[in-house]
Chain A
Amino acid sequence: MSNEFPELFARWDTFSSAVWFRSKAGRYRLEGTQCTACGEKFFPPRTGLICPNCQQRAMQPYACAQTGSIAAAALDDIGFPATGYETYLPRCMVIIRLDDGIHIMSELSDVSDPAEVQPGARVRMVLRKHKREDTGAWVYGYRFVLDPAA
């Protein structure tokens, strides 16, 4: 925090480093969970939670597939970007069906022409720098890039 503002000031969405710590396996390497009782796979991870399929409580870490194809795509061009992303517009938002059947929402990086982002296009996960938080820390997390060979 800048010395310009010695008093604490409230920002309702100031991030908690504890939250970041807890979610890093998912954000960095797409780690989800799998139910050891019925085999159902989940992302985001359901660590310690009850399986909606078999109602057991037996989740273990699961490495989600890091390749997949686009199920839906939309350009974020309506003018209300997320805080910290104002300089990256327009962003390409996608729903991706991973090769193990899990669906996730993400952003497609390195897109030169949004017209080439079509449902069915192959993609792979990459780890990218996202934004700088007001604590000074850089936020890292998954994104996807187009990769016909994936």
Chain B
Amino acid sequence: MGKISRRVMMVAGAITPPFAPMNWTWRQLVAEVFWNSLQQIGAKAREIDMVAAAYNDRTIVDSSIGPQMADALGVLPKPVVMVSSACAGQGVAAYTAWNAIASGRCDLALVLGFARSDNYDAMEAMSSLGNYVDYDYMLGLTHLNYGQVRDAYYKRKYGVTIEDAARWAYQCHWYAQRNPLAATYGKPMPLLEELMADTEEAERDRQATNRGGVASCILLAGEDVADRYTDRPVQFDVAYAYRPPYIGNFFNYPVDGMREYDLGELPGLKIAAEEAYALAGITPQQINVAQIHDLTAYEGMMAVEALGICPIGQCKDYILQGGMTLQSACPVNTYGGGVAFGHGSAGSDFVAGVLENYWQLRGECGERQVTNAQIGVSTAYGSHHSLDVCGIVQRRW
């Protein structure tokens, strides 16, 4: 790792409410959250030195989004780095902006993401994302199938049951009932017994909820200029790591840190977390709250294990002992998780967790507030964990 010139602070952020109006374009979505963030710090758009943004919308032409984005946000002629890395895209964008701030090249950077998934036939388009297209997608093996076999393998390897997944999902729904930004907020809360049923309907309640069109963003600043924008800056660090894109290569892949794991673990997240912890100067035992990108309950458990919050294969016990609840030393998914806050792909899957931790550190989470939270961790993954991101926020006031 190279020399880092200064620490990076998060000074603002915003996310659209679930199910943004259908008549909003993606430009309106991104302008909405950017404007909201600018209001928080009393700044003008052109004060931004650079933008790093992720997207997931196949109706726009990939190569031309940068200038469109710069124009829509009113930051033109400032640079906009566009990232396409599936649901972890915002994490990669955050990595890019973090580097620009930490190096001293930029003072204030915007990390942004949007998904206008209702612009196209989502399931057909999503079929190919993350799979090794020549040998999976073209032979009819989809994105969802990847998740199904991964979950089946994890359950068998570590003796995890539907009941364990139901407990995970139940806690996510419990938090989402206390988060007005969650996609399931205000909807009937499923009973634990209902979530434990071995039915297709219960399985869907144990999996991610769609958020519809969404955008979210955070503003990052150098530590020496952060007090221009807020009196409560939060240190932000981020790292990400790759795994092979083909799911068969999750077994025995000949790279250090990968070969000893298989489909039942997330070594990419473990590597990313270790780097993020090193940047932040913390250990997993110091984390007070964790937000996990979980499209199924099982992979949520795998992520908690990869972060080192509990040993590998033991998240089911962590849940059973109340590890996800507000009474725990490290509550999990107070935002509601992908299961109940909602899945927003490149539009929110990383930033939603970062924002929740930011608000937790500032004591702004109401009924779901974690007492005296100082350090929060969040994750996001793309392409079925061939890309894993880990973000850390720390209170600095």
Interface residues of A (CB under 8 A from B): 12-13, 15, 19-20, 22-23, 26-27, 40, 42-44, 51-53, 71-85, 91, 93-95, 97, 101-107, 119, 130-131, 139, 141-142
Total CB contacts across the A-B interface at under 8 A: 121
State how many angstroms separate the Cβ of B261 from the closest Cβ of chain A.
13
Q: Judging by beta carbons under 8 Å apart, are A80 and B139 in contact?
A: no
Q: Judging by beta carbons under 8 Å apart, are B146 and A80 in contact?
A: no
Q: Judging by beta carbons under 8 Å apart, are A84 and B140 in contact?
A: yes
State how many angstroms separate the Cβ of B323 from the closest Cβ of chain A.
26
B90-123 interface mask toward A, CB cutoff 8 Å, 1 = contact, 0 = none?
0000000000000000000000000000001001
Of the candidates A74, A84, A91, A102, the one whose C-beta lies within 8 Å of that of B151 is: A74
Q: Judging by beta carbons under 8 Å apart, are A95 and B140 in contact?
A: no
B72-106 interface mask toward A, CB cutoff 8 Å, 1 = contact, 0 = none?
00000000000000000000000000000000000
Q: Judging by beta carbons under 8 Å apart, are B140 and A82 in contact?
A: yes
Q: Could you say which of B10-18, B130-138, B283-291, B388-396 contacts chain A?
A: B130-138
Of the candidates A12, A53, A93, A141, the one whose C-beta lies within 8 Å of that of B138 is: A141
B247 partner residues in chain A, CB cutoff 8 A: 95, 105
B250 partner residues in chain A, CB cutoff 8 A: 103
State how many angstroms separate the Cβ of B217 from the closest Cβ of chain A.
27
Of the candidates B58, B128, B142, B156, the one whose C-beta lies within 8 Å of that of A119 is: B156
Does chain A have a CB within 8 A of B246?
yes
Of the candidates A23, A72, A103, the one whose C-beta lies within 8 Å of that of B252 is: A103
Contacts A82-B141, A104-B135 known; 10 new A-B pairs at CB < 8 A = A13-B127, A13-B128, A44-B246, A51-B254, A71-B263, A83-B124, A95-B247, A103-B252, A105-B247, A139-B138
B255 partner residues in chain A, CB cutoff 8 A: 52-53
Chain B contacts with A in 119-168, Cβ cutoff 8 A: 120, 123-125, 127-128, 132, 134-142, 144-146, 148-153, 156
A96–B8 alpha-carbon span in the complex (Å): 45
B145 partner residues in chain A, CB cutoff 8 A: 74, 76, 82, 93, 105
State how many angstroms separate the Cβ of B262 from the closest Cβ of chain A.
8
B229-248 interface mask toward A, CB cutoff 8 Å, 1 = contact, 0 = none?
00000000000000000111
Q: Judging by beta carbons under 8 Å apart, are B200 and A107 in contact?
A: no
Nearest A residue to B148, CB-CB: A74
Interface residues of B (CB under 8 A from A): 58, 120, 123-125, 127-128, 132, 134-142, 144-146, 148-153, 156, 200, 203-204, 246-255, 263
A27 partner residues in chain B, CB cutoff 8 A: 135, 138-139
A102 partner residues in chain B, CB cutoff 8 A: 248
Of the candidates A19, A20, A76, the one whose C-beta lies within 8 Å of that of B148 is: A76
Q: Judging by beta carbons under 8 Å apart, are A105 and B138 in contact?
A: no
What are 11 sample pairs from A and B whose C-beta atoms fall under 8 A apart? A12-B58, A12-B125, A22-B134, A26-B135, A43-B135, A78-B204, A80-B144, A83-B127, A95-B248, A105-B136, A105-B146
State how many angstroms separate the Cβ of B361 from the closest Cβ of chain A.
37
Nearest B residue to A96, CB-CB: B248
Q: Judging by beta carbons under 8 Å apart, are A78 and B148 in contact?
A: yes
B148 partner residues in chain A, CB cutoff 8 A: 74-76, 78, 93
A23–B128 alpha-carbon span in the complex (Å): 16
Nearest B residue to A19, CB-CB: B134
State how many angstroms separate the Cβ of A90 from the closest Cβ of chain B.
11
A52–B258 alpha-carbon span in the complex (Å): 11
A43–B244 alpha-carbon span in the complex (Å): 11
Assuming A43-B248, A72-B149, A95-B248, is B134 touching A26 (CB within 8 A)? Answer: yes
A77–B120 alpha-carbon span in the complex (Å): 23
Q: Judging by beta carbons under 8 Å apart, are A23 and B149 in contact?
A: no
State how many angstroms separate the Cβ of A105 from the closest Cβ of chain B.
5
State how many angstroms separate the Cβ of A26 from the closest Cβ of chain B.
6
